Amino acid sequence: MANFFGSRSNPKKFAASQIKFYALLIPLSLFMLLPVVFIINQAFKPMDELYRFPPTFIVQRPTTLNFQYIFGIADASGVPLIRYLVNSFIVTAITVTSSIFLTAMTAYAFSKKKFRARAWLFRINQAALMFVPIAVAVPRYLVIINTGMENTYWAHILPLLAMPVGLFLVKQFVDQVPDEILEAARIDGAGEIAVMFRIVFPQIGPALATVGILCFQVVWNAVESSNIYVIDETLKTFAFYLNTFAVDQNPAMAGMAAAAGFIMFMPNLIIFIALQSRVMNTMSHSGIK
């Protein structure tokens, strides 16, 4: 009986019973792709198409002038565009790597170690989920200034290292790792470092990949540090440079703002597509105990 129902509801090959699912999912997928198509088309529209009424969804005469203007203005300002890109790559790489490592280590400690105030500390992390970044802007500014980290890469990195939502998510995965496996490894002579890197971390890979994506999105698009903590133009990020076109009210900047949005969006899309299977595994297993 189980095989009978399983073969009909979830066949291994295409069956007529699946048509109703495709009829629903394909239009829904196309509808969800519309924002992506719109961003791409906007970036390649010439100025007359950007202000055409009624507006067009698909670009009629694609052009790369918007991108050429972005690169040209950067070179004319005295700071080459490659400098902003290098700053963003350095900040993003260090922050994402460090955030994943710290999140994994902290989640392991909360899940598998017994120490005083463990419950209270984790409750503090849960309480931090309620606060938006603007709520801690003043304390964050005081920390950066009083520690002398203004006008350094650390002003970009330190405020974004902690991810309460990432810690909460990864801890749920570490909870699912059987304690018996860890005890067996310790009996065989493995130290805590070996237990974490050889047993725990490989099993929570999907959760760590999800944390990496979330952290990348935050860091890659962050402009707060460049606006507040960094005065030296050569230390500001690519997101800050592109954001200047988005906030400029000059109609002539509309094309460059569209191109800037495209440039900022594409790395997020590429990384999500590359790691989407791990993200789906995280969402499907995060509640399993």
Whether 24 is in a domain gets the answer no
Whether 19 is in a domain gets the answer no
Q: CATH code at 191?
A: 1.10.3720.10
> Assign residue 117 a region: left if phi > 0, alpha if psi is -120 to 50, beta otherwise?
left
Distance of alpha carbon 92 from alpha carbon 1, whole angstroms: 53
Distance of alpha carbon 47 from alpha carbon 65, whole angstroms: 10
Number of domains in the chain: 1
Whether 37 is in a domain gets the answer no
pLDDT of residue 203: 85
Distance of alpha carbon 216 from alpha carbon 65, whole angstroms: 28
pLDDT of residue 149: 87
Whether 81 is in a domain gets the answer no
What percentage of the chain carries pLDDT values higher than 90? 8
Whether 224 is in a domain gets the answer yes
Whether 193 is in a domain gets the answer yes
Q: What is the pTM of this model?
A: 0.78
The pair of three-digit structure tokens given for residue 236, joined into one six-digit string = 């500001």
Whether 232 is in a domain gets the answer yes
Average pLDDT of span 203-226: 87
| Structural domain that includes position 163 | 90-238+272-283
pLDDT in tens, 25-55: 888 888 888 888 888 888 888 888 887 888 7
Whether 42 is in a domain gets the answer no
Q: Is the pLDDT of residue 252 over 70?
A: no
